[in-house]
Amino acid sequence: MATTYRTCPRTGLQFDLDADKLMRWNAVAGVLWLLVGGITALLVILTRWPAIKLLPADQFYLILTAHGIDMLILWIIFFEMAVLYFASSTLLRCRIATPWLGWVQFWLMVVGGIMTNVAIFQGESSVMFTSYVPMQAAPHFYLGIILFAVGALIGSGVFFGTLVVAKREKTYTGSLPLVTFGALTAAIIAVFTIASGAAILIPTFFWSMGWIKEIDAQLYRMVWWALGHSSQQINVAAHVSIWYLVAAVAFGAKPLSEKVSRFAFLLYILFLQLASAHHLLSDPGMSAEWKVLNTSYFMYFAVLASMIHGFTVPGAIEAAQRKKGFNNGLFEWLRKAPWGNPMFSGMFISLVGFGFIGGISGVVLGTEQINMLMHNTFYVPGHFHATVVVGTTLAFMSITYLLVPTLFKREMIFPKLCQIQPYLYGLSMIVLSLVMMGAGTLGVSRRHWDMAFSGAPFQYEWPGAAYLMMGLTGIFGVIAVIGGGLWILLVVGSLLFGKKLDGGPTSDKTVPIPDQSAAAAASGTGSAEHTNVPGTVVLAITLLVCFVLYYFVNWKYLSEVWGLS
């Protein structure tokens, strides 16, 4: 079977044409699901905005279910498949293993995704993303997710196979590049995630068919979260890899220490999936010892890993910038960074937003006792919009500004709008997360149609500040939807109407990496020469101070509620 490679003349990246096509189709499928997810986001926002309250209750819960599934699973995992193929076949400059299985992955995920959406929009499956039993959805709701997951598992298999091919055919020397290593951790976590998903969704599917009588509600929550949370850890590993990739491509940056960065990825594999337990901190079925063990020992090692990446990614950029001579003061390296390049600005907003907002709120939320202040409140979606949207989605958006020219061979249209987009989307999403958390701190529930409780036997009046926060959620939510919509328009517009670019020479053999290219930076290994990174140290200490203050403020809040024992 002949393989044809194309070498991008702008970046030096080399694409196996089979992998090239798979990446493009997966990325486009992801974008289309993001479109569906974005439309549902707008409807959710406009309903939770108390002054507007657009949809009736039944439609709201239907749309909210679709929003969760389409964003958290379909958009992100389709895009991740493209990332996996890129990190293996493209960065290792080798042919992709079994491209036909790649197509099995793609079509299973397409069929599964559509099947689940059909179930949701038929109206009998408004069970939310989490589908807690004993609330039951239509059988094809579960079946669709199962097919989708099998597809993703096959995609991970193709990725592993491609690593083997590269090793055997010696297309690279030494170790895997760091970005590929990060993608490898994502794929390993994906396998664990999908196994957990199978363990719970297959019985649930049987139950919906009437073949199993009962599923324990607590057991479901425990196993489901090994799917639900771990799938977000795939995202973390993937978007941290993309941070390193952007740092390499935009600055030629090398990690401060390969050893440390790789070790941090390893910690993700060892501990992140077990952190799923923090969804169960206010549940009856687990003991306090179990909760403390799982949130501290397991989760904090994963948190440690994220704190390490949070230091080494900006540290790598600082080291690279200082080497280029941006040495004045603490922050010249940052001031003189290419803020007009949406690939960089998006990535940096993703990094800061994920660390400061998503990271800190996540750890506080994941503290055993403090969880009781926030469990199932609007704080929770506030937190994960900072991690999954600002962190993952924005990182994926930023890398697209590289992929459109190099992979799709099109120039981005409206470069000025491209420059604005990461700021519009990223900053509004950060504010959105903050006001959502604000509302949650005041007690407002998530997944709730009417904070005025119309039709209830009594009344409860939320504090005025809660209404203010929900109004701000509406405003910044709409701005964020505009920012996301702008990205979809720019990307789809560029794919259709962007200036066609030269795809570069093709060859039937893998060619050496051109020196001084983006490809050389992304595929190389080795640590930066040890430059001091005082600016990064200041950023990291700032993060720590915010973290410590906010953490103890919440203990103070907790000490003021009713006594519980």
Question: Taking the CB of residue 173, how many other CB atoms lie within 10 A of it?
Answer: 6
Helix (H) or strand (E) holding 136: none
Should residue 323 be labelled a site residue for another protein when binding is judged by CB under 8 A?
no
Q: What are phi and psi of 506, to 5 degrees?
A: -105, 160
Site for another protein in 226-285 (CB under 8 A): 254, 256-260, 280-285
The least CB distance from residue 225 to another protein, in Å, is 12
Between 155 and 314, CB nearer to another protein: 314
Out of 143, 166, 250, 308, point to the residue binding another protein (CB under 8 A). 308
Site for another protein in 456-485 (CB under 8 A): 456-460, 462-463
Q: Which two tokens stand for residue 560?
A: 């003021």
Can you tell me the distance from the alpha carbon of 420 to that of 340, in angstroms, rounded to the nearest whole number?
8
Stretch that binds another protein, among 151-159, 341-349, 425-433, 539-547 (CB under 8 A): 539-547
Asked if 521 contacts 514 with a C-beta cutoff of 8 angstroms, the reply is no
Site for another protein in 139-158 (CB under 8 A): none
Should residue 360 be labelled a site residue for another protein when binding is judged by CB under 8 A?
no
* # of chain residues touching another protein (CB under 8 A): 95
Site for another protein in 57-76 (CB under 8 A): 57-58, 61
Closest by CA to 75, choosing from 113, 31, 119, 112, is 31
Site for another protein in 437-456 (CB under 8 A): 441-443, 445-451, 453-456
Instruction: Give the distance from CA 91 to its chain's centroid.
Output: 21
Site for another protein in 381-410 (CB under 8 A): none
Could you tell me which residues are beta bridge partners of residue 6? 15, 506
Between 169 and 216, CB nearer to another protein: 216
Count the residues in the chain: 565
Can you tell me the distance from the alpha carbon of 508 to that of 450, in angstroms, rounded to the nearest whole number?
61
Stretch 192-221: interaction string toward another protein, x if CB under 8 A: ------------------------xxx--x
Should residue 171 be labelled a site residue for another protein when binding is judged by CB under 8 A?
no
Question: Taking the CB of residue 508, how many other CB atoms lie within 10 A of it?
Answer: 8
The least CB distance from residue 114 to another protein, in Å, is 24
Asked if 418 contacts 488 with a C-beta cutoff of 8 angstroms, the reply is no
Can you tell me the distance from the alpha carbon of 205 to that of 211, in angstroms, rounded to the nearest whole number?
9
Out of 296, 424, 427, 475, point to the residue binding another protein (CB under 8 A). 296
Between 98 and 296, CB nearer to another protein: 296
- Tokens 């239509």 correspond to what residue? 138
Asked if 92 contacts 523 with a C-beta cutoff of 8 angstroms, the reply is yes
Between 415 and 512, CB nearer to another protein: 512
Should residue 539 be labelled a site residue for another protein when binding is judged by CB under 8 A?
no
